[in-house]
Amino acid sequence: MMYLSIELLIRIIVVLVVLLICFGIYVAINGLRENYRNKGKTTYLDAEQENWYTYFSSAGEISESLIPKTTREIQGVEEIFISYLKNVSDPTIKEKINQFSNKYLREHYLTLLRSKKWSIRINGLKRIANFEIECLEECQKFKGKNTSKEENFQLLKIFSFLNRENFEDELLNRSTGFSEYEFKKLFVSIDEELLGRIITNIEDLPKAGQYAFIDILGSKRDMKYLDFLESQLLNEHQEIRIRTLKAIHSIGVVRELEKYIDFVKSPFWEERLMMAKLLGNLPLNETASHFRVLLEDESWWVRSQAAKTIGKDKDGLDYLKNFSKTTGDKYAMEMANEILLNGGN
Amino acid sequence: MVYSNALDTTEAKGLLATEDKMHAIFQLLKANVFRSRSTLSVILLQLDNYPTTFKKTVEKDITQFLQSRIRESDILIKLSTPSEWCIFLSPSGEEEATAFIQRLFNSREDKETILFQCNEISFSAGIAEIGNSQAALDEIFHSARKLFSKQKESWTIEFVNTYKVKEVEKIRVSIIEDDNIFQKVLLLALTKLPLKQFKLDIQTFSDGYEFLQSDWYRSSHAHLIIMNDILPKKNGFEVLYALRKLPNSKRFITFMMTKKKVEEDMLYAYENGVDQYLFKPFNLRLFEAQVKRVLSRLWS
């Protein structure tokens, strides 16, 4: 057993109390400093929000009071701009934000880019990407191993408007290690012309990029991507084919059923499941025989989806009634009856 | 020539009331103008030219004829003033009343309308659209008669516009948005919206919970609610569900703002009573136009 003298114990306690007091004072001072700094931003926001609204909604000149004088005021302007860009779609407002940022904030962000701290550089890049600030030369200096994945992501967003000619090359060079989510975030932010150009180089992208690209095309719900998507139905990778079927289902147009027929008997249940959804885009009289196969599928998911899709058709309940009487598959019959019992849902 | 019982074969449609009930009926209809946000039209019909003999019989025929032409929701009153009738068209605006009178006047050309074929009579009509509670029937009649006295031709329609202006209605507005800056943008957009007929009483909330905890939504006013689908504590769908469970929930006009174009969510929201969907980012001018349109449709 260890023995401590009372005197030593008191000394330890005193030291700890002193340390605690010092730490408390440090936290309090930091808190006060942060409050003081935030006060500058809050004061700017309170004073200028209405003036920004007036500037954005009228043809008037910019008022002197809107130009930020301190870093905190710049943060106030950033909050306002980001909120407008996120919530309001108006080309005039976007143009005004872009002009103001290039005139009054550009130097500030270039200073941030030169910082040795990653967190400061990334903030600068984010704002340059948000406000589309002209600084291609400075951004192109980010090369080599020292550029992080997050910086590359922001740089690609910046190059999508500042360096469009070389965007595909930049994408291939800078997207190493990107997750599917990061690819999606990038593709959702770029325009249709660039998307069209990526189509021709999609094979060069990593698999995560290809998956994300197909998902984004599906979310666009534009028939002009159908040619490309239909070509991907023959892709050797199962995941690409499944994503493609999903994307075509989102677009909601099946042009030539023959191109899809093989998927009804695909060895992969996920492909058959997507077919059970996709066939719902065609008249039931054209797809009835394929639905019969899908309703008698070995996978519960496929059978269930096929029955649900049929149930949504105006003649679906009659089809299911007839199917239920004629099928010899008791699982398929149960599924059909379940949908019939729920009135098609 | 006088043709009595000219309308034997025509069924009476509207209500024929006596003059002693006229003011009470008018008060009732006038009170409904504001409550139901639909205008009422008062028509004073005056016979300009009629045979001096068989006057009573002609007036009876005209009353019968008019009663057959008005709708079931309209009320006809034969005034004690000679050769004058009052018609309440409810709910109808000036345009509808004018169309009704023109149809009535045009029937003089119709050979099957025996009343005009058998009697050389002509009318003048005065129409007053009632949009506010200040309207007084005697004033309307007085103004119409004054206008009749100045006119040179029969078959003319005069308009009494004194009570047409609708009373300014207070509309409650709630903005439920967690982005403080955008909340203020919406507040400014609505505050600066030029509206003649409505006064917007606006409050902002950062969350659905904060909104539902307040008493703000418990009033009989028409209430415009602009809310996000995703909010920190209680989301827009929960607010919508709570509002639609309330009695007289039709007074709530709901705008749902969203960043996601998810059809399932939209279907759910529309089925549960959302009136408008706004996909972020949206154009503020478009938003203002939608609000104006929705408010203008409150009055029929």
Supply the pLDDT for residue A146: 75
Q: What is the mean pLDDT of residues B33-55?
A: 81
Supply the pLDDT for residue B2: 42
Distance of CA B266 to the CA centre of its chain: 31
Q: What is the mean pLDDT of residues B172-192?
A: 96
pLDDT reading at A224 higher than 80: yes
Query: For residue B73, what is the DSSP state?
Result: T
pLDDT reading at A301 higher than 70: yes
Residues facing residue A139 across a β-bridge: none
In the stretch 15-34 of chain B, residues with CB closer than 8 A to chain A read: none
pLDDT reading at B163 higher than 80: yes
Query: For residue A88, what is the DSSP state?
Result: B
Closest Cα partner for A55 from A94, A93, A23? A93
Q: How far apart are CA A90 and CA A101, in angstroms?
A: 17
Assigned token pair, A201: 């180089």
Q: How far apart are CA A8 and CA A4, in angstroms?
A: 7
* Residue B300 pLDDT class (50, 70, 90 cuts): low
Identity of the residue numbered B237: F
The whole-angstrom distance between B288's CA and the closest CA on chain A is: 12
Instruction: Kindly provide the residue ranges of all beta strands, DSSP E only, lying in chain A, ordered along the sequence.
Output: none
Q: Does B284 touch chain A (CB under 8 A)?
A: yes
Interface probe for A, chosen from B185, B187, B257 (most Cβ of A below 10 Å), is: B185
Give the orientation angle of helix A180-189 with respect to helix A149-162, to 10 degrees: 20
Supply the pLDDT for residue A144: 65
Contact A258, A283 (CB under 8 A): no
Q: Is the ipTM of this complex over 0.90?
A: no
Tally the C-alpha atoms within 13 A of residue B55's C-alpha that lie toward its C-beta: 9
Supply the pLDDT for residue B4: 44
Cross-chain CB nearest to A87 (options B179, B188, B285): B179
Supply the pLDDT for residue B52: 66
Task: For A25-83, write each residue's pLDDT tens digit.
Answer: 999 999 888 888 778 889 999 999 999 999 999 888 888 999 999 999 999 999 999 99
* Residue A1 pLDDT class (50, 70, 90 cuts): low
Q: How far apart are CA A321 and CA A340, in angstroms?
A: 7
The whole-angstrom distance between A142's CA and the closest CA on chain B is: 32
pLDDT reading at B6 higher than 50: no
User: Over chain B, what is the mean pLDDT?
Assistant: 87
- Domains annotated for chain B, with CATH where assigned, are 15-160 (3.30.70.270), 169-296 (3.40.50.2300)
Closest Cα partner for B107 from B10, B17, B1, B40? B10
Cross-chain CB nearest to A80 (options B181, B282, B283): B181
Contact B235, B229 (CB under 8 A): yes
Distance of CA B19 to the CA centre of its chain: 25
User: In this complex, do A86 and B283 lie within 8 Å of one another by their Cβ atoms?
Assistant: no
Closest Cα partner for A80 from B286, B259, B225, B188? B188
Distance of CA B193 to the CA centre of its chain: 23
pLDDT reading at A141 higher than 60: yes
In the stretch 184-203 of chain B, residues with CB closer than 8 A to chain A read: 184-185, 188-189
For chain A, state the CA radius of gyration.
Answer: 30
The whole-angstrom distance between B213's CA and the closest CA on chain A is: 26
* CA-to-CA dists, residue B182 to A39, A101, B253, angstroms: 20, 20, 20
Assign A218 to helix, strand or coil. Answer: helix
User: In this complex, do A79 and B181 lie within 8 Å of one another by their Cβ atoms?
Assistant: yes
Q: Are strands B122-130 and B40-49 parallel, antiparallel or unpaired?
A: antiparallel
User: In this complex, do A83 and B182 lie within 8 Å of one another by their Cβ atoms?
Assistant: yes
Interface probe for B, chosen from A53, A130, A312 (most Cβ of B below 10 Å), is: A53
* Residue A328 pLDDT class (50, 70, 90 cuts): confident
Q: What is the mean pLDDT of residues A2-17?
A: 86
pLDDT reading at B8 higher than 50: no
Residues facing residue B123 across a β-bridge: B47
The whole-angstrom distance between B190's CA and the closest CA on chain A is: 12
Q: What's chain B's length in residues?
A: 300
Cross-chain CB nearest to A87 (options B188, B280, B285): B280
Supply the pLDDT for residue A44: 93
The whole-angstrom distance between A245's CA and the closest CA on chain B is: 19
Task: For A154-167, write each residue's pLDDT tens digit.
Answer: 999 999 998 888 89
Identity of the residue numbered A120: I
pLDDT reading at A23 higher than 90: yes
For A195-218, give one letter per residue: b (16+ CB within 10 A) or e: beebeeeeeebeebbbbbbbbbbb
Interface probe for B, chosen from A55, A83, A87, A250 (most Cβ of B below 10 Å), is: A87
Q: How far apart are CA B291 and CA B191, in angstroms?
A: 12
Chain A residues touching chain B at CB-CB below 8 Å: 45, 49-50, 53, 57, 79-80, 83-90
Q: How far apart are CA B65 and CA B113, in angstroms?
A: 9
* Residue A124 pLDDT class (50, 70, 90 cuts): very high
* Residue B226 pLDDT class (50, 70, 90 cuts): very high
Supply the pLDDT for residue B50: 65
Q: What is the mean pLDDT of residues A203-209?
A: 93
Assigned token pair, B154: 């029969």
* Residue A2 pLDDT class (50, 70, 90 cuts): low
Residue B99: partners with Cβ closer than 8 Å, 6 or more residues away = none
Q: How far apart are CA B98 and CA B104, in angstroms?
A: 10
Closest Cα partner for B158 from B196, B194, B127? B127
Contact B257, B278 (CB under 8 A): yes
Cis peptide before B91 (omega within 30 of 0): yes
Assigned token pair, A340: 């019939």
Q: How far apart are CA B227 and CA B253, in angstroms?
A: 11
pLDDT reading at B42 higher than 60: yes
Q: How far apart are CA B273 and CA A183, in angstroms?
A: 37
User: In this complex, do A83 and B282 lie within 8 Å of one another by their Cβ atoms?
Assistant: no
Phi, psi of B78 (to 5 degrees): -85, 120
Closest Cα partner for A53 from B203, B177, B184? B184
Q: How far apart are CA A24 and CA B263, in angstroms?
A: 53
Instruction: State if pTM tops 0.90.
Output: no
Residue B113: partners with Cβ closer than 8 Å, 6 or more residues away = B65, B107
Q: What is the mean pLDDT of residues B72-98?
A: 91
Q: Are strands B75-78 and B122-130 parallel, antiparallel or unpaired?
A: unpaired
Supply the pLDDT for residue B33: 84
Q: How far apart are CA A21 and CA A3, in angstroms?
A: 28
Contact B55, B16 (CB under 8 A): no
Assigned token pair, A235: 């892709």
Q: Are strands B40-49 and B276-279 parallel, antiparallel or unpaired?
A: unpaired
Residue B186: partners with Cβ closer than 8 Å, 6 or more residues away = B175, B177, B226, B287
A231-240, Cβ contacts within 8 angstroms, sequence gap of 24 or more: A233/A259, A233/A260, A233/A263, A237/A207, A238/A268, A238/A270, A238/A271, A239/A207, A239/A211, A240/A210, A240/A211, A240/A214
pLDDT reading at A105 higher than 80: yes
Q: Residue B285 burial by CB count (10 A; 0-12/13-18/19+): exposed, middle or buried? A: exposed
Residues of chain B with pLDDT > 70, as a percent, come to 93
CB count in 10 Å sphere of residue B228: 26
